[in-house]
Structure 1
Protein backbone atom coordinates (compact mmCIF):
# COMPACT_ATOMS: atom_id res chain seq x y z
CA UNK A 1 0.00 0.00 0.00
CA UNK A 2 1.18 3.59 -0.44
CA UNK A 3 2.87 4.35 2.88
CA UNK A 4 4.90 7.52 3.38
CA UNK A 5 7.11 8.91 6.12
CA UNK A 6 7.30 12.64 6.77
CA UNK A 7 10.10 14.24 8.78
CA UNK A 8 11.24 10.74 9.66
CA UNK A 9 7.90 9.66 11.20
CA UNK A 10 6.82 6.32 9.69
CA UNK A 11 3.32 4.77 9.87
CA UNK A 12 2.93 1.68 12.08
CA UNK A 13 0.70 -1.27 11.15
CA UNK A 14 0.28 -4.16 13.57
CA UNK A 15 0.89 -7.50 11.81
CA UNK A 16 -2.62 -8.69 12.73
CA UNK A 17 -4.24 -5.68 10.99
CA UNK A 18 -5.31 -5.59 7.35
CA UNK A 19 -4.73 -2.43 5.31
CA UNK A 20 -5.94 -2.57 1.72
CA UNK A 21 -3.20 -1.92 -0.87
CA UNK A 22 -5.01 1.17 -2.20
CA UNK A 23 -5.25 2.88 1.22
CA UNK A 24 -2.79 5.73 1.81
CA UNK A 25 -0.97 6.19 5.13
CA UNK A 26 1.19 9.24 5.78
CA UNK A 27 3.40 9.99 8.77
CA UNK A 28 2.16 9.61 12.35
CA UNK A 29 -0.40 6.86 11.81
CA UNK A 30 -0.78 3.89 14.16
CA UNK A 31 -3.00 1.00 13.06
CA UNK A 32 -3.49 -1.33 16.00
CA UNK A 33 -4.14 -5.07 16.30
CA UNK A 34 -7.03 -6.69 14.43
CA UNK A 35 -7.93 -3.44 12.62
CA UNK A 36 -9.32 -3.22 9.09
CA UNK A 37 -8.58 -0.32 6.72
CA UNK A 38 -10.57 -0.46 3.49
CA UNK A 39 -9.86 0.44 -0.13
CA UNK A 40 -8.99 4.08 -0.91
CA UNK A 41 -9.05 5.19 2.75
CA UNK A 42 -6.67 8.06 3.51
CA UNK A 43 -4.97 8.49 6.89
CA UNK A 44 -2.92 11.70 6.80
CA UNK A 45 -0.75 11.95 9.89
CA UNK A 46 1.22 14.89 8.53
CA UNK A 47 -0.06 17.30 11.23
CA UNK A 48 -1.50 15.38 14.20
CA UNK A 49 -1.36 11.70 15.22
CA UNK A 50 -3.96 9.23 13.95
CA UNK A 51 -4.58 6.08 15.96
CA UNK A 52 -6.88 3.15 15.28
CA UNK A 53 -7.07 1.01 18.40
CA UNK A 54 -7.65 -2.75 18.62
CA UNK A 55 -10.45 -4.17 16.51
CA UNK A 56 -11.55 -0.90 14.93
CA UNK A 57 -12.37 -0.59 11.25
CA UNK A 58 -12.13 2.24 8.75
CA UNK A 59 -14.07 1.45 5.60
CA UNK A 60 -13.52 2.44 1.97
CA UNK A 61 -12.95 6.09 0.98
CA UNK A 62 -12.83 7.35 4.58
CA UNK A 63 -10.54 10.26 5.35
CA UNK A 64 -8.80 10.95 8.66
CA UNK A 65 -6.80 14.13 9.21
CA UNK A 66 -6.36 16.76 11.89
CA UNK A 67 -4.86 20.06 13.00
CA UNK A 68 -1.22 20.26 14.14
CA UNK A 69 -0.59 18.70 17.56
CA UNK A 70 -4.14 17.29 17.76
CA UNK A 71 -4.78 13.56 17.72
CA UNK A 72 -7.59 11.75 15.94
CA UNK A 73 -8.42 8.50 17.72
CA UNK A 74 -10.79 5.63 17.00
CA UNK A 75 -10.96 3.56 20.18
CA UNK A 76 -11.40 -0.21 20.51
CA UNK A 77 -14.07 -1.69 18.24
CA UNK A 78 -14.79 1.70 16.68
CA UNK A 79 -16.66 1.27 13.40
CA UNK A 80 -16.28 3.96 10.72
CA UNK A 81 -18.66 3.59 7.76
CA UNK A 82 -17.95 4.14 4.08
CA UNK A 83 -16.92 7.66 3.12
CA UNK A 84 -16.86 9.15 6.63
CA UNK A 85 -14.50 12.02 7.49
CA UNK A 86 -12.86 12.36 10.92
CA UNK A 87 -10.87 15.50 11.78
CA UNK A 88 -9.07 15.95 15.15
CA UNK A 89 -11.81 14.07 17.02
CA UNK A 90 -12.35 11.01 19.19
CA UNK A 91 -14.62 8.08 18.43
CA UNK A 92 -15.04 6.19 21.70
CA UNK A 93 -15.01 2.44 22.26
CA UNK A 94 -17.76 0.44 20.49
CA UNK A 95 -19.14 3.52 18.68
CA UNK A 96 -20.31 3.53 15.06
CA UNK A 97 -19.92 6.49 12.68
CA UNK A 98 -22.33 6.05 9.78
CA UNK A 99 -21.63 6.31 6.08
CA UNK A 100 -20.61 9.79 4.83
CA UNK A 101 -20.83 11.28 8.32
CA UNK A 102 -18.40 14.07 9.32
CA UNK A 103 -16.96 14.48 12.82
CA UNK A 104 -15.10 17.76 13.34
CA UNK A 105 -12.32 19.10 15.57
CA UNK A 106 -12.40 18.30 19.30
CA UNK A 107 -15.77 16.56 18.88
CA UNK A 108 -16.44 13.24 20.56
CA UNK A 109 -18.70 10.35 19.62
CA UNK A 110 -19.51 8.63 22.92
CA UNK A 111 -18.98 5.00 23.83
CA UNK A 112 -21.42 2.55 22.20
CA UNK A 113 -23.10 5.40 20.29
CA UNK A 114 -24.45 5.19 16.75
CA UNK A 115 -23.99 8.31 14.61
CA UNK A 116 -26.36 8.08 11.64
CA UNK A 117 -25.30 8.18 8.00
CA UNK A 118 -24.62 11.69 6.65
CA UNK A 119 -24.67 13.27 10.14
CA UNK A 120 -22.45 16.28 10.87
CA UNK A 121 -20.90 16.65 14.31
CA UNK A 122 -19.67 20.24 14.71
CA UNK A 123 -16.38 21.16 16.35
CA UNK A 124 -16.37 20.64 20.10
CA UNK A 125 -19.71 18.76 20.26
CA UNK A 126 -19.87 15.77 22.61
CA UNK A 127 -22.35 13.05 21.72
CA UNK A 128 -23.10 11.13 24.95
CA UNK A 129 -22.58 7.37 25.35
CA UNK A 130 -25.12 4.86 24.05
CA UNK A 131 -27.00 7.45 21.99
CA UNK A 132 -28.50 7.52 18.54
CA UNK A 133 -27.52 10.85 16.97
CA UNK A 134 -28.48 12.15 13.52
CA UNK A 135 -28.81 15.30 11.45
CA UNK A 136 -26.97 18.44 10.39
CA UNK A 137 -25.88 19.40 12.97
CA UNK A 138 -26.09 16.07 14.77
CA UNK A 139 -28.58 15.89 17.66
CA UNK A 140 -29.29 13.09 20.07
CA UNK A 141 -32.52 11.36 19.05
CA UNK A 142 -32.74 8.87 21.93
CA UNK A 143 -30.86 6.25 23.91
CA UNK A 144 -29.99 3.04 22.04
CA UNK A 145 -31.79 -0.19 22.79
CA UNK A 146 -29.95 -3.35 23.82
CA UNK A 147 -30.88 -4.80 20.41
CA UNK A 148 -29.22 -1.88 18.58
CA UNK A 149 -26.05 -2.11 20.68
CA UNK A 150 -25.87 -5.86 19.99
CA UNK A 151 -26.43 -5.27 16.25
CA UNK A 152 -23.56 -2.79 16.14
CA UNK A 153 -21.22 -5.19 17.93
CA UNK A 154 -22.17 -7.99 15.51
CA UNK A 155 -21.32 -5.71 12.57
CA UNK A 156 -17.95 -4.83 14.06
CA UNK A 157 -17.16 -8.51 14.64
CA UNK A 158 -17.96 -9.09 10.97
CA UNK A 159 -15.28 -6.56 10.03
CA UNK A 160 -12.83 -8.16 12.47
CA UNK A 161 -13.53 -11.44 10.68
CA UNK A 162 -13.00 -9.66 7.33
CA UNK A 163 -9.55 -8.62 8.58
CA UNK A 164 -8.64 -12.29 9.02
CA UNK A 165 -10.27 -13.32 5.74
CA UNK A 166 -8.42 -10.56 3.86
CA UNK A 167 -5.04 -11.42 5.41
CA UNK A 168 -5.58 -15.08 4.51
CA UNK A 169 -6.96 -14.86 0.99
CA UNK A 170 -7.15 -11.43 -0.64
CA UNK A 171 -4.85 -11.04 -3.62
CA UNK A 172 -4.76 -9.04 -6.81
CA UNK A 173 -5.95 -11.03 -9.85
CA UNK A 174 -6.97 -10.56 -13.46
CA UNK A 175 -10.75 -10.49 -13.97
CA UNK A 176 -12.35 -13.40 -15.78
CA UNK A 177 -13.84 -12.73 -19.23
CA UNK A 178 -17.08 -14.57 -18.40
CA UNK A 179 -19.00 -16.04 -15.47
CA UNK A 180 -17.85 -19.60 -14.83
CA UNK A 181 -20.25 -22.50 -14.34
CA UNK A 182 -21.22 -23.09 -10.68
CA UNK A 183 -19.67 -19.78 -9.65
CA UNK A 184 -18.96 -19.82 -5.89
CA UNK A 185 -20.18 -17.13 -3.51
CA UNK A 186 -18.08 -15.30 -0.93
CA UNK A 187 -18.54 -17.04 2.43
CA UNK A 188 -19.40 -13.97 4.49
CA UNK A 189 -21.31 -14.20 7.79
CA UNK A 190 -25.09 -13.76 7.75
CA UNK A 191 -25.40 -10.22 9.13
CA UNK A 192 -28.53 -8.24 8.31
CA UNK A 193 -29.19 -4.47 8.20
CA UNK A 194 -30.64 -3.02 11.41
CA UNK A 195 -34.06 -2.55 9.78
CA UNK A 196 -34.21 -6.29 8.99
CA UNK A 197 -33.06 -7.16 12.50
CA UNK A 198 -35.85 -5.07 14.03
CA UNK A 199 -38.43 -6.80 11.80
CA UNK A 200 -37.31 -10.10 13.32
Structure 2
Protein backbone atom coordinates (compact mmCIF):
# COMPACT_ATOMS: atom_id res chain seq x y z
CA UNK A 1 0.00 0.00 0.00
CA UNK A 2 1.58 3.24 -1.21
CA UNK A 3 5.03 1.65 -1.54
CA UNK A 4 7.33 3.03 -4.24
CA UNK A 5 9.77 0.90 -6.27
CA UNK A 6 11.91 3.18 -8.41
CA UNK A 7 14.70 2.23 -10.80
CA UNK A 8 17.51 4.56 -11.80
CA UNK A 9 19.62 4.68 -14.96
CA UNK A 10 22.36 2.92 -12.99
CA UNK A 11 20.50 0.69 -10.51
CA UNK A 12 17.66 -1.74 -11.07
CA UNK A 13 15.22 -2.73 -8.35
CA UNK A 14 15.26 -6.43 -7.55
CA UNK A 15 12.78 -7.93 -5.09
CA UNK A 16 13.43 -11.54 -4.10
CA UNK A 17 10.75 -14.21 -3.85
CA UNK A 18 8.63 -13.92 -0.71
CA UNK A 19 10.05 -10.50 0.24
CA UNK A 20 7.72 -7.97 1.86
CA UNK A 21 7.87 -4.23 1.15
CA UNK A 22 5.81 -2.50 3.84
CA UNK A 23 3.30 0.33 3.60
CA UNK A 24 4.76 3.62 2.29
CA UNK A 25 8.25 2.12 2.00
CA UNK A 26 10.57 3.30 -0.80
CA UNK A 27 13.00 0.99 -2.59
CA UNK A 28 15.11 3.15 -4.89
CA UNK A 29 17.57 1.29 -7.11
CA UNK A 30 18.23 -1.41 -4.51
CA UNK A 31 18.17 -5.19 -4.14
CA UNK A 32 15.94 -6.92 -1.59
CA UNK A 33 16.71 -10.57 -0.85
CA UNK A 34 14.43 -13.58 -0.62
CA UNK A 35 11.89 -13.35 2.23
CA UNK A 36 13.44 -10.10 3.49
CA UNK A 37 11.13 -7.57 5.12
CA UNK A 38 11.26 -3.83 4.52
CA UNK A 39 9.28 -2.18 7.31
CA UNK A 40 6.60 0.45 6.94
CA UNK A 41 7.92 3.86 5.83
CA UNK A 42 11.49 2.56 5.49
CA UNK A 43 13.69 3.81 2.64
CA UNK A 44 16.32 1.70 0.88
CA UNK A 45 18.48 3.75 -1.48
CA UNK A 46 20.63 3.26 -4.59
CA UNK A 47 22.89 0.24 -4.70
CA UNK A 48 21.94 -0.97 -1.22
CA UNK A 49 21.48 -4.70 -0.74
CA UNK A 50 19.25 -6.31 1.89
CA UNK A 51 20.07 -9.99 2.39
CA UNK A 52 17.70 -12.92 2.51
CA UNK A 53 15.46 -13.06 5.58
CA UNK A 54 16.88 -9.75 6.85
CA UNK A 55 14.66 -6.99 8.22
CA UNK A 56 14.87 -3.23 7.79
CA UNK A 57 12.84 -1.74 10.64
CA UNK A 58 9.97 0.67 10.12
CA UNK A 59 11.15 4.20 9.37
CA UNK A 60 14.78 3.17 8.79
CA UNK A 61 16.94 4.82 6.13
CA UNK A 62 19.32 2.45 4.33
CA UNK A 63 21.85 4.75 2.67
CA UNK A 64 23.30 4.17 -0.81
CA UNK A 65 25.60 1.17 -1.14
CA UNK A 66 24.82 -0.23 2.32
CA UNK A 67 24.82 -4.01 2.74
CA UNK A 68 22.45 -5.59 5.27
CA UNK A 69 23.61 -9.22 5.63
CA UNK A 70 21.30 -12.22 5.55
CA UNK A 71 19.25 -12.77 8.70
CA UNK A 72 20.15 -9.43 10.29
CA UNK A 73 18.04 -6.61 11.75
CA UNK A 74 18.84 -3.05 10.68
CA UNK A 75 17.28 0.06 12.16
CA UNK A 76 17.74 3.78 12.47
CA UNK A 77 18.55 6.69 10.20
CA UNK A 78 21.04 5.96 8.87
CA UNK A 79 20.26 2.26 9.28
CA UNK A 80 22.82 0.18 11.15
CA UNK A 81 22.89 -3.56 11.64
CA UNK A 82 21.90 -4.26 15.25
CA UNK A 83 22.42 -8.01 15.18
CA UNK A 84 20.76 -11.24 14.17
CA UNK A 85 16.98 -11.50 13.96
CA UNK A 86 17.06 -14.97 15.51
CA UNK A 87 15.46 -14.93 18.94
CA UNK A 88 13.93 -11.45 18.61
CA UNK A 89 10.22 -10.58 18.36
CA UNK A 90 10.90 -9.26 14.82
CA UNK A 91 11.85 -12.77 13.70
CA UNK A 92 8.14 -13.69 13.78
CA UNK A 93 7.32 -11.20 10.99
CA UNK A 94 10.14 -12.29 8.70
CA UNK A 95 9.15 -15.94 9.05
CA UNK A 96 5.37 -15.54 8.78
CA UNK A 97 4.92 -12.76 6.19
CA UNK A 98 5.79 -14.80 3.06
CA UNK A 99 3.22 -17.53 3.73
CA UNK A 100 0.61 -15.05 5.00
CA UNK A 101 0.84 -12.96 1.84
CA UNK A 102 0.81 -16.04 -0.41
CA UNK A 103 -2.40 -17.13 1.35
CA UNK A 104 -3.88 -13.66 0.90
CA UNK A 105 -3.07 -13.72 -2.83
CA UNK A 106 -4.75 -17.15 -3.11
CA UNK A 107 -7.87 -15.81 -1.37
CA UNK A 108 -8.05 -12.91 -3.80
CA UNK A 109 -7.68 -15.22 -6.79
CA UNK A 110 -10.46 -17.46 -5.48
CA UNK A 111 -12.70 -14.51 -4.71
CA UNK A 112 -13.45 -12.97 -1.37
CA UNK A 113 -16.98 -12.62 -0.11
CA UNK A 114 -18.12 -9.29 1.25
CA UNK A 115 -18.49 -9.05 5.01
CA UNK A 116 -22.05 -8.61 6.29
Flag whether TM exceeds 0.5 (same fold): yes
Candidates 90, 103, 106, aligned match of 1:161 = 103
Q: Residues 90-135 of structure 1: CA distance to partner in whole angstroms, max 9, x if unpaired?
A: 0011110000000000001111101100000001111111111100
User: How far apart in 2 are the matches of 1:155 and 1:89?
Assistant: 20
Given candidates 66, 73, 81, the residue that maps to 1:125 is 66
1:110 has 2:40 as partner: no
Count of residue correspondences: 115
Runs of 4+ in 1 over 3 A off after TM superposition: 146-151
- Equivalent residue, structure 2, for 1:140: 81
User: Distance in 2 between the 1:156 and 1:68 partners?
Assistant: 30
In structure 2, what is the Cα distance between the partners aligned to 1:158 and 1:67?
A: 31
TM-score (norm 2): 0.89
Alignment match, 1:49: none
Q: CA contact under 8 A between 2:33 and 2:49: conserved in structure 1? A: yes
State the superposition RMSD in angstroms: 2.0
User: Which piece of structure 1 moves more, 149-158 or 94-103?
Assistant: 149-158
TM-score under structure 1 length normalisation: 0.53
Post-superposition Cα deviations, 1:52-103, rounded to whole Å, max 9, x if no partner, equal xxxxxxxx10001121153100011111111100011000111100000000
Higher RCO structure (Cα 8 Å, ≥6 apart): 2
**Distance of 2:21 and 2:79 partners within structure 1:** 16
Q: Please, which runs of 5 or more residues in structure 2 have no aligned partner? A: none
Structure 1 gap segments, 5+ residues each: 1-59, 174-182, 185-200
* Cα separation, partners in 2 of 1:68 and 1:170, compared to 1, 3 Å: farther
